[in-house]
Structure 1
Amino acid sequence: MTLPPLKVRVASELGPIDILINNHGSFQGIGPIWDCDPLVWWRDVEINLRGTFNTCRTAAPMMLAQGSGRIVNLVGGGTGNSFPHGSGYACSKAAVMRFTECLNDTTIGNDVRAFAVDPGLVRTAMTELQLSSEAGKTYLPGIRELFEDGVNIEPSQAALLIADIAAGRFDTLAGRLLRGVDDRDALAEEMDAIVAADGRALRFSSVEQAKL
């Protein structure tokens, strides 16, 4: 496979890319959709989804050329459920989940595997905006309540999970969702059952699938 100039430059400056972690995270469009600035709402989608697309588009061919690689795309709230006052963020992360599935199905035959990871509710600059902004106080009071209740996931939990992904421990779950709060040993034991049930993925219910 002949790599375009940008990929050649990345390879020459950084060396082979064995793992790519897409930690794009923008969540500034807060509130009902009619109260959100359209440009702010769309910027959340662009940063989270287009950013992930761009880095994967650069790194995946390099991984395919070398015959191995692991890609981790971070998702979050709204990936698998409604998030009415964070619709831009939710739409982008649901799209990243589907993109991860599509990417994995495209590359897995060449030992390049993609995973979605939800790190959980971590105290970051992004969550600080939700806590301190007027829009966040008005429309996302549940975030403060969760922190006050002690829900504050250490970023090291997601980091340890990603380290295991990089080492190939969870290859069976490629294309699926893993969470920072998961017990990694228990998850390793449940992998075959998760795949058999087609879990940790964006799917219609079995009833809806039967109608299609």
Structure 2
Amino acid sequence: MEAIVAKAVAAKDQEIAELKDQLRRTNDQLNELEQYSRRLCVNIAGVPETANESTDQLVTDLAKMAGVAIAPADIDRTHRIGKPGTGKARPIIVRFANFTKRQELYNARRELRKPRPVRGSTVSPEVAGKTFLSDNLTRQNQHTMYVARNLKKEGKIHSAWTDVGKMKIRIREGAQTTVIRSLEDLHAAVDPDRRPGDAAAAPSDDEGFRPAPGRGRSGRRDRAVR
């Protein structure tokens, strides 16, 4: 009798393990779809926040200082992300109308270290030199990259970065670049003996725009998600 019960329990444990693995893979696929929906977005941190500001104008002026011309039609929407009143300038998220213009600004982000002077700009050269542009990541990917950066500080990996939302690491200097899809992938790259599911859950954070925003049938812009 005990053998029969043990066999039944083992079968159920195996079934549960398979379901957990299936759920994890489904979650990773959904996360990839959500990340893809953010491919037109860029986060801009370090720009002081003022009352009645125009984030569209701030982004346009900042782009000019990087040598990139952005027309109103190039911007789908912009706004601050996070809760107001924290005493810190909230990041600006900008969703571009086309990927080419998004990449043009993102690739020119290092030009802001020595910004071009722009007459009447809403952004000073001092502020421009301290801004930071980054990919707009899902909550899950934010947490994964947070862990990756800590692993870098600990000397367990050489580098970690994102490329239009794709997470990449390099274990050692000169080593091959490894694309990671999840926290489990990251841990497996660093410690192949680690079991799936050992990672902690991702903390809550500001996500910016919700997945796959777009224009309605009328052609009008959807409202930005705050």
**In which range does the TM-score fall when normalised by the shorter chain?**
under 0.3
TM-score (norm 2): 0.24
Larger Rg: 2
Write 1 or 2 for the structure with the bigger share of strand: 2
| Greater helix fraction, Structure 1 or Structure 2 | 1
